[in-house]
């Protein structure tokens, strides 16, 4: 029986058995036991006169115990039920002088060094339970809406984004200079996106999505970038950009509504944590809303939809631009937006999630559909307060000649992507999709400040421990 089930109270006055890890042991009498099934600890009341000294000495923070006793209504405040302990079996001891996770507040930086044990803290356990619930909600949303999951390859021969930020995969030893062919007989890399393969499946299954690991060797040591992250990429035949925006908005609202309903205890805890962290910041940097408040706000309000051109005008006339407070001043149409600009738009100007669309072709990938103006493409980015870009997507170029033109202009090897252009030869049609960075979604939902703290074992420049 796990602790979450015991809190339902159904086993009241029965003998129950439960296993978990000791969080604290007070007054030789009260064990706070946690088994990860929920946030709350189960209080286990020990009759120390009936318990051997040797056993009492082994009940330390971090030890694993199996406890058998009677589940009773709690006498103390703060919990509904507790166990009157009959027997304690020590499954694994934990030396209190060595165990790093003490019953006190540890810094997130310290806990990153102890990533193998940090899930035994309330904060990380809550974050990881919410992460798991979001993952379930993603699959539920797509399944209920007629999408099929496709497993796109992790080792690929193509650079979908054309950004060249790939991790090479090879069996060749660089120190041995021989003429042996590589395993696949060609250069291969870890995928930066499953989009191109997903497009081929959308043009047969109609509505598909991928949810898998994604790798980018970009040297951005920021609180929002990982070298290995999980991306969700829906792709839909016959959808245009407006349909794509509708899908992204509905999808995000729906998964947030799921966790608001199913993760009340953990989100309540993270809401308090968020409030404490915000209170430490200078007034101007504080989030105008609490964590739960902002999640509710997102599920209940429409995202603002603004063209790139309109956004540039807003930024050009903004206070920080006129007072030269931006690091990168917005001086004209065509620039790539920096995160300070995106943050100004969502956090100061609109104070809500924003979908920017119709970007200059120059700054976007080759596969995006060209607009009639010949200079913008049907791209969209969904921007969120605190995390910046949560989603990047587009309507795809379905016209063979236009696609070839763009590939040539952007130096994309058409021979390598023959299968991708083939899609435009046989039954081509309007289609669209997007990619959502799963950790950015978890970051926003949990109110954590650093993406390294919402994935079990973060991979970042100079860091691949564990
Ligand atoms: O905007 P991106 O690069 O878009 C694509 O890869 C398209 N092929 C998606 C598509 O249309 N199917 O990446 C999509 C999202 C970003 O908006 C961001 O949330 C996330 O992936 N992302 C990262 N998350 C964590 N660490 C990184 N290094 C990330 N790079 C992108
Ligand atoms: Mg992007």
Centre a 10 Å sphere on the Cβ of residue 358 and count the other Cβ atoms it contains. Answer: 20
Which secondary-structure segment (H or E) carries 314? helix 308-316
Please tell me the distance from the alpha carbon of residue 218 to that of residue 353, in angstroms, as a whole number. 26
CB under 8 Å to 330, separation ≥6 — which residues? 312, 315, 316, 318, 321, 341
Strands 30-34 and 42-45, sheet pairing: antiparallel
pLDDT band at residue 176, thresholds of 50, 70 and 90?
confident
Pocket of ligand 1 contains residue 133 by CB under 6 Å: no
Half-sphere exposure (Cβ direction) of 84: Cα atoms closer than 13 Å: 10
Which secondary-structure segment (H or E) carries 133? helix 122-144
> Of the residues 227, 440, 445, 452, which should be mutated to test ligand 1's pocket, given the most ligand atoms within 8 Å of the CB?
440
**DSSP secondary structure, 388-400, as one string:** EEEEEEEEB---H
Please tell me the distance from the alpha carbon of residue 32 to that of residue 22, in angstroms, as a whole number. 6
Burial of 173 (0-12, 13-18, 19+ CB in 10 A): exposed
pLDDT 10s digits, 313-357: 999 999 999 999 999 999 999 999 999 999 999 999 999 999 999
Residue 79 confidence (pLDDT) above 90: no
SS3 119: helix
Please report the sign of the dihedral spanned by the C-alpha atoms of residue 287, residue 292, residue 297, residue 299. positive
Instruction: Give, in order, the Cα–Cα distances in Å from 255 to each of 149, 279, 451.
Output: 17, 28, 19
Could you give all domains of the chain from N- to C-terminal order, each with its CATH number? 3-101 (2.40.50.140), 119-148+202-211+229-452 (3.30.930.10)
Residues in the chain: 466
Pocket of ligand 1 contains residue 199 by CB under 6 Å: no
Q: How much distance in Å is there from the Cα of 435 to the middle of ligand 2?
A: 8
pLDDT band at residue 22, thresholds of 50, 70 and 90?
very high
Strands 155-156 and 188-190, sheet pairing: antiparallel
pLDDT at position 151: 98
SS3 434: strand
Task: Copy the structure tokens of residue 340.
Answer: 């300070």
Please tell me the distance from the alpha carbon of residue 286 to that of residue 280, in angstroms, as a whole number. 9
pLDDT 10s digits, 100-125: 999 899 999 999 999 999 999 999 99
Q: Model pTM?
A: 0.97
Instruction: Give, in order, the Cα–Cα distances in Å from 262 to each of 38, 164, 223, 266, 273.
Output: 12, 40, 27, 9, 19
Pocket of ligand 1 contains residue 231 by CB under 6 Å: yes
Phi, then psi, of 302 in degrees rounded to 5:
-75, 140
Q: How much distance in Å is there from the Cα of 48 to the middle of ligand 2?
A: 60
Query: Residue 135 in contact with residue 438, Cβ under 8 Å?
Result: yes
pLDDT band at residue 161, thresholds of 50, 70 and 90?
confident
Residue written as token pair 């910041």: 281
Residue written as token pair 């650079």: 159
The neighbourhood of ligand 2, an ion, using CB within 5 A, equals 392
Q: How much distance in Å is there from the Cα of 392 to the middle of ligand 2?
A: 4
Q: How much distance in Å is there from the Cα of 380 to the middle of ligand 1?
A: 12
Pocket of ligand 1 contains residue 391 by CB under 6 Å: yes
Q: How much distance in Å is there from the Cα of 161 to the middle of ligand 1?
A: 9
SS3 324: coil
**Which atom of ligand 1 is nearest the CA belonging to 382?**
17
pLDDT at position 173: 83
Tell me how many degrees the CA angle 220-226-229 measures, rounded to the nearest 5. Answer: 145
pLDDT 10s digits, 409-451: 999 999 999 999 999 999 999 999 999 999 999 999 999 999 9
pLDDT 10s digits, 231-285: 999 999 999 999 999 999 999 999 999 999 999 999 999 999 999 999 999 998 8
> Of the residues 158, 363, 437, which should be mutated to test ligand 1's pocket, given the most ligand atoms within 8 Å of the CB?
437
Pocket of ligand 1 contains residue 369 by CB under 6 Å: no
Q: How far apart are the first and last CA of the chain?
A: 31
Helix axes 241-262, 291-300, angle to 10 degrees: 140
């Amino acid at each position: 029986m796990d602790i979450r089930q015991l809190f339902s109270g159904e086993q009241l006055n029965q003998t129950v058995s439960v296993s978990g890890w000791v969080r604290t042991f007070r007054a030789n009498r009260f064990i706070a036991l946690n088994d990860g099934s929920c946030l709350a600890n189960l209080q286990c009341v020990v009759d120390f006169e009936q318990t051997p000294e040797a056993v009492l000495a082994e009940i330390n923070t971090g030890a694993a115990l199996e406890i058998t006793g009677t589940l009773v209504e709690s006498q103390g405040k703060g919990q509904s039920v507790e166990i009157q302990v009959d027997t304690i079996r020590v499954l694994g001891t934990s030396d209190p002088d060595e165990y790093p996770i003490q019953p006190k507040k540890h810094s997130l930086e310290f806990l990153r060094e102890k990533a193998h044990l940090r899930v035994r803290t309330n904060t990380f356990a809550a974050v990881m339970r919410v992460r798991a619930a979001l993952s379930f909600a993603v699959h539920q949303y797509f399944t209920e809406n007629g999408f099929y999951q496709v497993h796109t390859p992790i080792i690929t021969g193509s650079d979908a984004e054309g950004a060249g930020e790939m991790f090479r995969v090879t069996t060749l030893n660089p120190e041995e200079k021989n003429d042996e062919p590589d395993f696949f007989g060609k250069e291969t890399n870890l995928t930066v996106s499953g989009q191109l393969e997903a497009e081929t499946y959308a043009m047969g299954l109609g509505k598909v999505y991928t949810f898998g690991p994604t790798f980018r060797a970009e040297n951005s040591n920021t609180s929002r970038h990982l070298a290995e992250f999980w991306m969700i990429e829906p792709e839909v035949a016959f959808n245009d950009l407006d349909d794509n925006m509708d899908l992204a908005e509905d999808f995000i609202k729906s998964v947030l509504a799921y966790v608001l309903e199913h993760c009340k205890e953990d989100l309540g805890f993270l809401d308090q944590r968020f409030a404490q962290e915000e209170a430490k910041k200078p007034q101007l940097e504080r989030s105008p809303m609490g964590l739960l408040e902002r999640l509710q706000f997102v599920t209940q309000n429409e995202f603002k939809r603004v063209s790139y051109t309109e956004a540039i005008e807003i930024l050009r006339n903004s206070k920080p631009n006129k007072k030269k407070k931006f690091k990168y001043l917005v001086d004209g149409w065509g620039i790539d937006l920096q995160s300070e600009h995106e943050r100004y738009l969502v956090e100061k100007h609109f104070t809500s999630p924003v979908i920017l669309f119709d970007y200059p072709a120059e700054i976007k990938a080759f596969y995006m559909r060209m607009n009639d103006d010949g200079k913008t493409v049907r791209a969209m980015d969904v921007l969120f307060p605190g995390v910046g870009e949560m989603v990047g997507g587009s309507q795809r170029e379905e016209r063979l000649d236009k696609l070839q033109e763009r590939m040539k202009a952007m130096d994309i090897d058409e021979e390598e992507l023959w299968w991708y252009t083939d899609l435009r030869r046989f039954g081509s049609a309007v289609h669209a999709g997007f990619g959502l960075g799963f950790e950015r979604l978890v970051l926003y939902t949990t109110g954590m400040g650093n993406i390294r703290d919402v994935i079990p074992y973060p991979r970042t420049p100079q860091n691949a421990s564990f």
